[in-house]
Amino acid sequence: MSPKTLYDKIWDTHVAHESEDGTCLLYIDRHLVHEVTSPQAFEGLRMTGRKVRAPEKTIAVPDHNVPTTHGRENPDQMTEDSRIQVAALDKNAKDFGIHYYPVSDIRQGIVHIVGPEQGWTLPGMTVVCGDSHTATHGAFGALAHGIGTSEVEHVLATQTLIQKKSKNMKVEITGKLKPGVTAKDITLAVIGATGTAGGTGYVIEYCGEAIRDLSMEGRMTVCNMAIEGGARAGLIAPDEKTYEYVKGRPHAPKGEQFEAALAWWKTLFSDDDAHWDKVITLKGEEIQPVVTWGTSPEDVLPITATVPNPEDFKGGKVEAAKRSIEYMGLTPGQKLTDIKIDTVFIGSCTNGRIEDLRAAADIVKGKKIKDGMRAMVVPGSGLVRKQAEEEGLAQIFKDAGFEWRLAGCSMCLAMNPDQLAPGERCASTSNRNFEGRQGYKGRTHLVSPAMAAAAAITGHLTDVREMM
Amino acid sequence: MDKFEKLSGIAAPMPLVNIDTDMIIPKQFLKTIQRSGLGKNLFDEMRFDREGKEIADFVLNKPQYREAQILVAGDNFGCGSSREHAPWALLDFGIRSVISNSFADIFYNNCFKNGILPIVLPQEAVDVLMKDAEKGSNARIEIDLENQVVTSSDGETFSFEIDAFKKHCLLNGLDDIGLTMEKGSAIDAFEAKAAAARPWV
């Protein structure tokens, strides 16, 4: 047999049909559904009299619209259109008989946090969701990617996707990370190196010592932003940490089935002499805590740097950088650490897991947020929230002046009431710094949870290493 | 889905790189449970001020581009979220084709499900067509999907690549789900085989 990458192996295991031109029907093991990108798909099924082919493999949870404040069971907390969208998911889940975690369930949370937490996501699976950050699940060595609503309908009806194979890219992070440098800094540094279109047409496998050293939470952070680099998916080969994380989760296999699964999972790695269409290597010890200055996730610089001059870029990026710097209200040459922050958001499918909250709480402990600062922590799921309360993290945040919220996507995309006002500047642990992403004319700097916590204390972008 | 065979239309120039799906259709418009009616919100934050008044220098507000059916855009068009509301909004506005040097993967796929043709051309070709589009409503760009050719208003032609299956579906306005369901027995067989090999899934 010819050598294969991890992606090749998962792909080959899931091809249900291949046409002569190479167009494949890829079988989907898990389909995650949320309220924003699914109503039109369910409506399509109704109009054509189609059913959900595999309801037992379909899991739904409302996350994008839901308020994160207490009393959210009260529908008055939502706008009319949000209420309709969440109600539609309630109804569709019931009508089509799919697994469902309603807002009232403690297991509710961001779909990409709930999936792994409940053991729905397992190594070697194909996982899709009508959400680009489905890439998150790649941390388990699952082929996971976002799809549009028409494809959601296609998967609901047929449990397959029409696909052509992507190319293989290896992103290796060698060596050890320095203190203060996290999974978020790795994933942003990779996008900074490749650009937001650098991964287009590829599935990325992240590997190397620095990746192996990451926890499952960290690996999810890295894979989560594969899409920001343009890749279809990001993958990390499963290892002992993966098996340990999965074991005992509600929907993970048990007993003999677990052993059988484990035997197969251990074959899920890229062969030594597998072919890579593109290889990128970064040295882990050279990665610094980073921050974005512009309105694209590729606008990444070490926290010690200064705002760039647009003229230093090439091609279309010159105009784009001018526009970004104007939008962000910055001046070329300004030190990044001199940028004042109004708001800190800790949460999202990128950084809303327990380890992220621990990292932020470590910095915050015994301190107060800067006067006038608005700071919020939005745990990624009800269970993350509960665990953080049990570990005393919630109290640390509350004592420091943070708002301690209920689970949801919240200010990552500001579909719920958590939004930036025009001109408001946020240090955010989320994944996109696009214009208007966190609110009309809002200004976003993407950072790690520790860096966000540091900014909340000092009131400006801060090198977290100075606070450790 | 409407067929796409040939199109002769006004092209609007949008040279900005990395036009993301939040720009194409901001999140406040994702709360709809329908596919239609999003054209009025296309590029909302670039097109209108907070009072809902048109921003005069935005390309689609200029008289010569109000009827545009084609966008000629900067690199990495459609990056960001998977929201199909982006092609729905473009289509509802009347855009049937976008020409760029590259597209984000999910957006690219979403276009084909909605009868929109995304065309990838080398940067030099995009530059020529961008200049052409800047001429306004007198410069109509022609697109011929069958022959995979774009023709500028000056008659300069550029051929483009496209996946044969995607082309077939677009030319005939075919419904993917119906086509896949015809392969139901292959899916049944796969499911049985996979359940035996990986019963824990």
User: What are A286-333's pLDDT values in tens digits?
Assistant: 999 999 999 999 999 999 999 999 999 999 999 999 999 999 999 999
Interface of A with B in 163-222 (CB under 8 A): 164, 196-197, 200-201
Query: Could you tell me where the beta strands, DSSP code E, fall in A147-285?
Result: 160-163, 167-174, 202-207, 233-235, 278-283
Interface of B with A in 64-83 (CB under 8 A): 74-76, 79-83
Interface of B with A in 76-135 (CB under 8 A): 76, 79-84, 87, 102-106, 109-110, 113-114, 123
- Cα-to-chain-centroid distance, residue A166: 21
Interatomic CA distance for residues A63 and A117, integer angstroms: 15
Q: Nearest C-alpha of chain B: how many angstroms from A420?
A: 13
User: What are A118-135's pLDDT values in tens digits?
Assistant: 999 999 999 999 999 999
* Closest chain B residue to the Cα of A228, Cα to Cα: B80
Q: What class has domain B6-197? A: alpha beta
Query: Could you tell me where the beta strands, DSSP code E, fall in chain B?
Result: 6-14, 70-73, 97-100, 117-120, 140-144, 149-151, 157-159
CA angle in degrees (0–180, nearest 5) for A200-A202-A203? 130
- pTM attached to this predicted model: 0.97
Interatomic CA distance for residues A240 and A259, integer angstroms: 13
Interatomic CA distance for residues A150 and A229, integer angstroms: 23
Interatomic CA distance for residues A393 and B18, integer angstroms: 38
Contact yes or no for B81 and A200 at CB 8 A:
no
Name the residue facing B176 among A43, A79, A162 (closest C-beta): A162
Above pLDDT 70, what percent of chain B?
100
Q: Among the residues of A62-107, which ranges form H helices? A: 80-96
Contact yes or no for B30 and A315 at CB 8 A:
no
Contact yes or no for B74 and A85 at CB 8 A:
no
Q: Is the CB of A436 inside 8 Å of chain B's CB atoms?
A: yes
- A452 backbone dihedrals φ, ψ, rounded to 5°: -65, -45
Q: Which of A125, A132, A420 to mutate to test the interface with B (most CBs of B within 10 A)?
A: A132
* Closest chain B residue to the Cα of A66, Cα to Cα: B31
User: What are B44-63's pLDDT values in tens digits?
Assistant: 999 999 999 999 999 999 99
Q: Is the ipTM of this complex over 0.90?
A: yes
Tokens describing residue A105 = 């369930």
* Closest chain B residue to the Cα of A129, Cα to Cα: B82
Interatomic CA distance for residues A132 and A121, integer angstroms: 16
Tens digit of pLDDT at every position of chain A (468 positions): 799 999 999 999 999 999 998 999 999 999 999 999 999 999 999 999 999 999 999 999 999 999 999 988 787 888 999 999 999 999 999 999 999 999 999 999 999 999 999 999 999 999 999 999 999 999 999 999 999 999 999 999 999 999 999 999 999 999 999 999 999 999 999 999 999 999 999 999 999 999 999 999 999 999 999 999 999 999 999 999 999 999 999 999 999 999 999 999 999 999 999 999 999 999 999 999 999 999 999 999 999 999 999 999 999 999 999 999 999 999 999 999 999 999 999 999 999 999 999 999 999 999 999 999 999 999 999 999 999 999 999 999 999 999 999 999 999 999 999 999 999 999 999 999 999 999 999 999 999 999 999 999 999 999 999 999
Q: Is the CB of A153 inside 8 Å of chain B's CB atoms?
A: yes
